[in-house]
């Protein structure tokens, strides 16, 4: 059973704008929701393009969702080994020398987020402008 992994990325630039979301009118709130939702989808799409593919299972397991109440977008990689690909793993001496495992990091989520972050900030700032 795969549980996947979750990495939290934040935008401190938007913290003040989103903290008091109830002060905005409905039209502005919908624009902000759309901006977050489209950026979340773009991050998932970018992660699928960047992920190393051997069998395709990890690529297929990348999903995105949006929680309206929390105003939070989530991108998940549901394969149990996704964190090993994203962050890498070091050598462990548990067996014979020929069985030592070393995995270099090949990040796919963080670069996708970093690429989309300016668009997210711009879209939310545009939605908030009067």
| Spatial CA neighbour of 18 closest among 39, 41, 42, 35 | 35
- Domain residue limits, the chain: 12-78+108-128
Q: How far apart are CA 90 and CA 102, in angstroms?
A: 5
Q: Which of 72, 2, 77 is nearest to 32 (CA)?
A: 72
- The whole-model pTM stands at 0.84
Structure tokens at 83: 């964190």
**Per-residue pLDDT tens for 64-102?**
999 888 888 899 999 988 888 888 877 666 666 655 566
Half-sphere exposure (CA, 13 Å, Cβ side) for 84?
Answer: 10
pLDDT tens digits, 8-37:
777 787 777 777 777 888 898 899 999 999
């Amino acid at each position: 059973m795969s549980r996947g992994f979750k990495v939290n990325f934040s935008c401190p630039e938007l913290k003040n704008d989103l903290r008091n979301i109830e002060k905005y009118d409905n039209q502005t709130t919908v624009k902000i929701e759309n901006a977050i939702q489209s950026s979340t989808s773009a991050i998932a799409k970018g992660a699928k393009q960047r992920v190393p593919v051997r069998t395709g299972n990890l690529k297929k397991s990348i999903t995105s969702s949006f929680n309206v109440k929390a105003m939070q977008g989530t991108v998940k990689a549901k394969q149990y080994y996704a964190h090993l690909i994203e962050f890498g793993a070091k050598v462990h001496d548990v067996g014979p020398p020929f069985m030592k495992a070393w995995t270099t990091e090949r990040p796919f989520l963080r670069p996708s987020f970093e690429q989309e972050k300016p668009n997210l900030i711009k879209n939310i700032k545009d939605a908030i402008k009067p």
